[in-house]
Amino acid sequence: MLKTIDSLGELRGKRVLVRADLNVPLDGTTITDDGRIRAALPTLTRLVEAGARVVVISHLGRPKGAPEEKYSLRPVVGRLGELLGQEVAFATDTVGSSAQEVVAGLEDGRVAVLENLRFNPGETAKDDAERAAFATQLAALGDAFVSDGFGVVHRKQASVYELATELPAAAGELVLAEVESLRKVTDQPERPFVVVLGGAKIADKLGVIDSLLGKADRLLIGGGMAYTFQKAKGYEVGRSLLDESKLDVVREYMDRAEKNGVELVLPVDTAVAPEFSADAPATVVAVDAMPADQEGMDIGPETAKLFGEKIADAATVFWNGPMGVFEFEAFAKGTTAVAEVLSKAPGYTVVGGGDSAAAVRTLGFDESLFSHISTGGGASLELIEGKDLPGISILEEDNS
């Protein structure tokens, strides 16, 4: 059991540090998808209504331990204020004079945001002592800690792990909801249990496939990772994404799926193009007829239909990774088709964060049509895989 906000007692007047995940995509200073900000609202609203002095901490992008203007959280502050219905204060550093001054000036029920945590090298340092030192500085700004950035709970970082050892700590509403929803998939899923995996890098999903070969009833493989499977079956994949080093592993997985009675479903056709661009001319070919000078960009219509049939009767579905280059309109059909089927499926449907969640929103689907849309791609995959997530284990009741 995870410790909840209730375990923190009376919060009025207390400074509560909230580790949120406000790592939103930006076009310059314009937020192109505010999903992660909205996901933080239940916890922040609860704390505001309890009269806490709320100090939000987060990262954005991947700065190298020093300030970079393009990674500033400043654009997020305005949007967060709009959603909360109050002006949100902003500190221009993480633990320096601005942070100390802003936190000191907070009144009950008000919210402040500190600058990008990753502007400080201690946040992501590999050295335990360096992370602990930064966590101690952060802890000095608060009386309690709420961990609500599900997208980073698989990372052993100062604001995720060490900070929870410095202050009375609890899981926020988002983290609780994420863990509960994903454990419905991992612990005792209702069957048929269907997993749809896509995305570019097969290496990112190998551990998940390995784990699911003993749990899932059907495993549907699309996206860039499918070409390694097709190559392992002896097909030409042209200039498509391919991880030659994983061919033997993939062959072993295909053999094990057959032995375990897991239905491993691969594409039967592919949308190809002569180059990776939005306006490249698209051609649909069978998987055994891919031209050597073309690149696979999306699953084809027959595959979309096949995948739809394999999903339609599922009692539980977990989807992680787009079926193609959905950012290009011509190659978004496969991902759209999978999202469409999931949105109408009667079973328990989970979209596993990352690009899949971005695709659902970008393609205009009503998020309420899915049982759960995770905010953490990597974290959701590791939880599904059965790995220990540092930011979750540190919040377990027996860690008090």
Which residues are catalytically annotated?
Answer: 36, 201, 354, 378
Coil, strand or helix at 93: coil
User: Binding residue per annotation — 46?
Assistant: no
Q: What are the residue ranges of helices labelled H in the chain? A: 35-39, 41-49, 74-84, 97-104, 128-139, 163-166, 173-186, 206-212, 226-232, 247-260, 301-312, 333-344, 354-362, 377-385, 390-393
User: Binding residue per annotation — 296?
Assistant: yes
User: Binding residue per annotation — 36?
Assistant: yes
Smallest CA-to-CA distance from 208 within 89, 369, 86, 220 is with: 220
98 pairs with which residues across the strands?
A: none
User: Binding residue per annotation — 155?
Assistant: yes
User: Binding residue per annotation — 156?
Assistant: no
User: Binding residue per annotation — 238?
Assistant: no
User: Binding residue per annotation — 266?
Assistant: no
User: Binding residue per annotation — 143?
Assistant: no
User: Binding residue per annotation — 327?
Assistant: yes
17, containing H or E segment: strand 15-19
User: Binding residue per annotation — 399?
Assistant: no
15, containing H or E segment: strand 15-19
User: Binding residue per annotation — 167?
Assistant: no
Assigned token pair, 246? 């994983």
User: Binding residue per annotation — 82?
Assistant: no
Coil, strand or helix at 262: coil
367/376 Cα distance (integer angstroms): 15
**How buried is 28 (Cβ within 10 angstroms: 0-12 exposed, 13-18 middle, 19+ buried)?**
exposed
User: Binding residue per annotation — 210?
Assistant: no
Matching residue, tokens 């709970």: 153
User: Binding residue per annotation — 277?
Assistant: no
205/382 Cα distance (integer angstroms): 9
Indicate the annotated binding residues.
21-23, 36, 59-62, 118, 155, 205, 296, 327, 353-356
Indicate the annotated binding residues for ATP.
205, 296, 327, 353-356
Indicate the annotated binding residues for substrate.
21-23, 36, 59-62, 118, 155
Indicate the annotated binding residues for (2R)-3-phosphoglycerate.
36, 118, 155
